[in-house]
């Protein structure tokens, strides 16, 4: 609110700045700290004796002879087979994003151009489906999947994630297609195009801003998912997030805690970069439902 | 759009949703009426030079045979719903007649697994949601007052807690506040208590998870409020400044009424999200002192001996009932808007 009339007092300005700085510290410091700590040995990052060790790298120097070590990374990526998990994540993410955008654009376009009552009811049902906790759906999947013997493999998980993602994608793209003027495709219909041709030649060229936003959210859902991937994939096919959990071990003192730390950093970094580049789309997607209603 | 084209356009998306969201809900409903088979016991007579003993052992063959014949388990009706691990109707009525005071009764019921989880889930929802709204709103107001040039990176920093998955977010915090982490270790020094640890106390665990919840969800509220603040009309604000309204009065009488519909939207969305809390419980390894409804389901499903489909399904159905209660106002609102839009 930059009002010409609004004269802010200096104390208010200072207070505001301090507040923002504190909040940003709270929001970002844990990630910076974890990033920093992932290059240390366990005795430094989890040091009971003196937390200052994490900064001076006391034990890291003794154990490895340098201030920074890539031990945790090489351990997790090769010994801990995190490369396999990240490969699985890439497969799952790319498939989920492309399939759910394909289904979502077609479905949402139809919903936005239909004036029938059932279109409204479909949207309402999608809203109900969107609210279902994923774990309750998983408890419905497990038994039939065991019976059909399709449990544990990547394709099943991909299809499930696509389906779970559909309600949100439909709503997002529906509100996007509503902003694309009807006259565009109607004129094409009058010229003798079928609906598919109108979609292909008129809508597809202008739909990319909406599709990118919807794609980002599908990507974040598939990439971040824990509930579905942890319970529907076997050990061999685990993606990154369940893999991180498996490093934790049941007891804090066993397991490979530093592997988990470096795995967390490896899994988070690509996501942060992505959001940095597509910040505008992420924010427009989050607000689409709220502002337009 | 004619029905025919609509059908073909919508068919793939609809099929995916029916097969993998609609059917699983029905499947959960059916499973909740079944329970896993009891093991079939047989008496075996064993004789040795010192005499004969009869012992009871599990008949593996018969057990696996009946499991194969009826993989779903035995029909249990509403049995699973009212057993000790769910609504526990017997225990509750027993406590009711036993207890001398209402407080004692509530204390006893609160120790039953389902009610324990319900209490945690509700506490989490009731505390986290308003805090998220408040913090999100304050951050939005305060970022909005900062120069446009540096806002971009600040917004990026602000939304970081939201974009990581809850498991990773809670782990990152947990590693700092654990007894060996930077905050935890310093707290021990500050409080002069070498045994102070988040895990050891129930209250501390709850507070930690709640703080985590606020940390994780506030950015979402922030983003929506921030976008809504951009649409606040300038003229009334300028007029109020001329009339001498204070900053607080302006927010209360002009900004808040304008963004009110968005506030309810954010409140309901975060209420629904908070109701399904469970990943932070795993991230903070807080199973001991905090359990949520979703965590109960997860725990049944990763059970090592035999997966408790029936038990998980019964909890799921009750969670769905809870969600539907929260969802009703959202649906009503959408319905109204849709009617007025056409």
Comparing alpha-carbon positions, the chain A residue that sits nearest to B71 is A147
What ipTM, to 2 d.p.? 0.87
Residue of A136, A157, A216, A241 to mutate for B, most B C-beta atoms under 10 A: A136
In a domain, A2, yes or no: no
Query: Quick one: A119 and A245 in the same domain?
Result: yes
Q: Is B55 left (phi over 0), alpha (psi -120 to 50) or beta?
A: beta
Question: Which residue pairs, CB below 8 angstroms and at least 24 apart, start in A257-261?
Answer: A257/A42, A257/A46, A258/A38, A258/A41, A258/A42, A258/A45, A258/A71, A258/A72, A258/A75, A258/A76, A259/A72, A259/A75, A259/A76, A259/A79, A259/A80, A259/A82, A260/A76, A260/B171, A261/A34, A261/A37, A261/A38, A261/A45, A261/A72, A261/B175
Given A58, A75, A92, which residue is the final one in a domain? A75
Query: Quick one: A129 and A51 in the same domain?
Result: no
Query: Quick one: A118 and A166 in the same domain?
Result: yes
- Mean pLDDT of the residues in chain A: 85
Pair A233, A239: CB distance under 8 Å = yes
Pair B34, B76: CB distance under 8 Å = yes
Q: What is the mean pLDDT of residues A28-33?
A: 92
Nearest-Å Rg of the Cα atoms of chain B is 27
- From the list B5, B138, B165, the residue facing A241 with the nearest CB is B165
Of A102, A99, A94, whose CA–CA distance to A207 is shortest?
Answer: A102
Query: Quick one: A242 and A282 in the same domain?
Result: yes
pLDDT at A288: 66
Comparing alpha-carbon positions, the chain A residue that sits nearest to B214 is A27
Provide, as residue numbers in chain B, all residues whose Cβ is less than 8 Å from the Cβ of A122.
10, 14
* Strand, coil or helix: A4: coil
Interface of B with A in 154-173 (CB under 8 A): 154-161, 163-168, 171-173
User: What is the distance in angstroms between the Cα of A227 and the nearest Cα belonging to chain B?
Assistant: 8
pLDDT in tens, B39-80: 777 777 777 777 777 777 777 777 777 777 777 778 888 888
Q: How far apart are the C-alpha atoms of B116 and B306, rounded to whole Å?
A: 23
* Lowest-confidence pick of A30-44, A267-281, B180-194: B180-194
Query: Quick one: A29 and A142 in the same domain?
Result: no
**Angle CA A100–A203–A125, to nearest 5:** 45
Of A271, A244, A277, whose CA–CA distance to A259 is shortest?
Answer: A244
Q: What are the domain boundaries of chain B?
A: 3-69, 105-341
Interface of B with A in 274-303 (CB under 8 A): 275-276, 278-279, 282, 285, 294, 297-298, 300-302
pLDDT in tens, A151-170: 889 999 999 999 999 998 99
Classify residue A286 by burial, with Cβ atoms within 10 Å: 0-12, 13-18, 19+: buried
Given A75, A98, A122, which residue is the final one in a domain? A75
Nearest-Å Rg of the Cα atoms of chain A is 24
Query: Quick one: A217 and A104 in the same domain?
Result: yes
Query: Quick one: A70 and A96 in the same domain?
Result: no
pLDDT in tens, A193-228: 888 888 888 888 888 888 988 898 899 889 999 999
Comparing alpha-carbon positions, the chain A residue that sits nearest to B16 is A163
Q: How far apart are the C-alpha atoms of B176 and B181, rounded to whole Å?
A: 4
Pair B222, B136: CB distance under 8 Å = yes
Contact (CB<8Å) A195/B9? yes
Residue B127 is encoded by which pair of tokens? 């505390």
Q: What is the mean pLDDT of residues B138-152?
A: 86
pLDDT at B211: 93
Provide, as residue numbers in chain A, all residues whose Cβ is less than 8 Å from the Cβ of B233.
none
Residue A193 is encoded by which pair of tokens? 């195009």
Comparing alpha-carbon positions, the chain A residue that sits nearest to B216 is A27
pLDDT of B120 above 90: yes
User: E strand or H helix at A232, and its extent?
Assistant: helix A227-232
Query: Quick one: A187 and A257 in the same domain?
Result: yes
Q: Which ranges in chain B belong to alpha helices (H)?
A: 3-17, 23-31, 60-69, 79-82, 89-98, 102-109, 113-144, 151-163, 166-177, 182-191, 202-229, 234-242, 247-250, 256-275, 279-283, 293-301, 309-341
pLDDT of B234 above 80: yes
pLDDT at B258: 86
Given A75, A101, A121, which residue is the final one in a domain? A75
In a domain, A121, yes or no: yes
* Strand, coil or helix: B60: helix
pLDDT of B87 above 50: yes
Provide, as residue numbers in chain A, all residues whose Cβ is less than 8 Å from the Cβ of B12.
102-103, 106-107
In a domain, A119, yes or no: yes
Contact (CB<8Å) B178/A160? no
Query: Quick one: A25 and A170 in the same domain?
Result: no
Which CATH number is A255's domain given? 1.10.3720.10
In a domain, A180, yes or no: yes
Interface of B with A in 67-106 (CB under 8 A): 71-72
A24's CB contacts (< 8 A; 6+ apart) are B154, B157, B158
B84 backbone dihedrals φ, ψ, rounded to 5°: -60, -30
Give how far Cα A252 sits from Cα of A245, A256, A257, B199, B298, Å. 12, 9, 7, 12, 20
Interface of B with A in 2-41 (CB under 8 A): 3, 5-6, 9-10, 12-14, 16-17, 19-28, 31
Contact (CB<8Å) A114/B1? yes
Query: Quick one: A277 and A257 in the same domain?
Result: yes
Domain containing residue A225: 81-292
B223's CB contacts (< 8 A; 6+ apart) are A283, A286, A287, B155, B159, B162
For A119-180, give the DSSP string.
HHHHHHHHHHHHHS-HHHHHHHHHHHHHHHT-TBSHHHHHHHHHHHHHHHHHHHHHHHHHHS
Of A228, A211, A65, A216, whose CA–CA distance to A154 is shortest?
Answer: A228
User: What is the distance in angstroms between the Cα of A65 and the nearest Cα belonging to chain B?
Assistant: 23
pLDDT in tens, A136-148: 999 888 888 988 8
Of B219, B211, B232, B209, whose CA–CA distance to B138 is shortest?
Answer: B219
pLDDT in tens, B301-320: 887 777 888 889 999 999 99
- Mean pLDDT of the residues in chain B: 85
Interface of A with B in 17-46 (CB under 8 A): 17, 19-20, 23-24, 26-28, 30-31, 33-34, 37, 45-46
pLDDT band, residue A49 (cuts 50/70/90) = low
Q: How far apart are the C-alpha atoms of A241 and A92, rounded to whole Å?
A: 12
In a domain, A1, yes or no: no
The residues pairing with B34 across neighbouring beta strands, listed in sequence order, are B75
Comparing alpha-carbon positions, the chain B residue that sits nearest to A161 is B20
> What is the 8-class DSSP label of residue B308?
-
A127 has a chain B CB within 8 A of its CB: yes
User: What's domain B105-341's superfamily in CATH?
Assistant: MetI-like (1.10.3720.10)
Query: Quick one: A126 and A58 in the same domain?
Result: no
pLDDT at A46: 77
Of A24, A221, A223, whose CA–CA distance to B159 is shortest?
Answer: A24
> What is the 8-class DSSP label of residue A48?
S
Residue of B149, B168, B260 to mutate for A, most A C-beta atoms under 10 A: B168
Question: How many domains would you assign to chain A?
Answer: 2
User: E strand or H helix at B54, and its extent?
Assistant: strand B51-58
Provide, as residue numbers in chain A, all residues whose Cβ is less than 8 Å from the Cβ of B20.
137, 141, 159-160, 162-164
Query: Quick one: A69 and A85 in the same domain?
Result: no
Q: How far apart are the C-alpha atoms of A76 and A83, rounded to whole Å?
A: 8
């Amino acid at each position: 609110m930059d009002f010409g009339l609004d004269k802010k007092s200096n104390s208010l300005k200072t207070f505001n700045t301090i507040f923002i700085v504190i909040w940003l510290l709270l929001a970002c410091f844990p990630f910076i700290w974890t990033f920093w700590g992932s290059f240390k040995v366990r005795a430094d990052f989890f040091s009971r004796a003196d937390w200052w060790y994490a900064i001076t790298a006391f034990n890291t120097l003794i154990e490895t002879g340098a201030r920074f070590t890539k031990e945790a990374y090489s351990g997790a990526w090769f010994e801990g087979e995190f490369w396999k998990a990240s490969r699985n994540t890439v497969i799952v993410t790319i498939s989920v994003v492309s399939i759910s955008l394909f289904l979502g654009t077609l479905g949402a376009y139809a919903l936005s151009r239909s004036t029938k009552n059932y279109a409204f009811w479909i949207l309402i049902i999608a809203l109900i489906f969107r609210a279902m906790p994923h774990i309750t759906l998983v408890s419905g999947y497990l038994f039939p999947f065991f019976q059909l013997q399709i449990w544990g493999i990547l394709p099943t998980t991909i299809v499930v994630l696509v389906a779970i993602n559909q309600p949100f994608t439909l709503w997002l793209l529906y509100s996007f297609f509503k902003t694309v003027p009807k006259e565009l495709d109607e004129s094409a219909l009058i010229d003798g195009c079928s609906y598919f041709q109108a979609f292909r030649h008129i809508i597809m060229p202008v739909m990319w801003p909406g599709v990118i936003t919807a794609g980002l959210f599908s990507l974040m859902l598939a990439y971040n998912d824990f509930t579905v991937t942890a319970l529907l994939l076997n050990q061999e096919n685990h993606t990154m997030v369940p893999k991180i959990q498996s490093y934790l071990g049941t007891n804090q003192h066993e397991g490979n805690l530093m592997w988990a730390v470096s795995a967390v950093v490896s899994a988070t970094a690509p996501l942060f970069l992505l959001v940095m580049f597509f910040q505008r789309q992420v924010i427009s997607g989050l607000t689409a439902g709220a502002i337009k209603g | 759009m004619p029905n025919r084209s609509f059908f073909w356009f919508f068919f793939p998306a609809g099929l995916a949703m029916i097969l993998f969201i609609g059917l699983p809900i029905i499947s959960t409903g059916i499973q909740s009426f079944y329970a896993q088979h009891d093991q079939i016991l047989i008496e075996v007579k064993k004789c040795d030079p010192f005499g004969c003993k009869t012992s009871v052992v599990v008949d593996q063959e018969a057990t696996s045979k009946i499991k194969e014949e009826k993989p779903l388990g035995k029909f249990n009706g509403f049995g699973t719903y009212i057993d000790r691990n769910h609504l526990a109707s017997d225990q509750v009525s027993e406590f009711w007649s036993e207890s001398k005071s209402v407080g004692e009764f509530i204390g006893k019921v609160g120790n039953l697994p389902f009610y324990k989880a319900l209490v945690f889930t509700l506490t989490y929802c009731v505390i986290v949601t308003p805090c998220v709204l408040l913090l999100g709103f304050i951050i939005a107001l305060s970022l909005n007052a900062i120069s446009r040039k540096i806002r971009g990176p600040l917004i990026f920093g602000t939304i970081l807690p939201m974009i990581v998955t809850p498991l990773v977010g809670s782990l990152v915090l947990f590693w700092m506040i654990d007894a060996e982490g930077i905050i935890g270790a310093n707290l021990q020094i500050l409080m002069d208590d070498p045994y102070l640890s988040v895990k050891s106390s129930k209250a501390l665990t709850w507070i930690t998870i709640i703080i985590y919840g606020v940390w994780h969800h506030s950015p979402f509220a922030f983003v929506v409020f921030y976008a809504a603040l951009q649409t606040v009309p300038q003229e009334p604000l300028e007029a109020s400044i001329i009339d001498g309204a204070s900053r607080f009065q302006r927010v209360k009488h002009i900004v808040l009424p304008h963004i009110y519909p968005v506030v309810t939207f954010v409140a309901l969305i975060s209420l629904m999200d908070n109701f399904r809390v469970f990943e932070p419980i795993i991230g903070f390894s807080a199973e001991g002192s905090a359990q949520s409804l979703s965590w109960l389901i997860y725990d049944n499903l990763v059970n090592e001996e035999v997966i408790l489909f029936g038990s998980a399904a019964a909890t799921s159905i009750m969670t769905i009932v809870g969600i539907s209660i929260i969802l009703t106002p959202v649906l009503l609102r959408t319905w109204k808007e849709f009617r007025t839009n056409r």
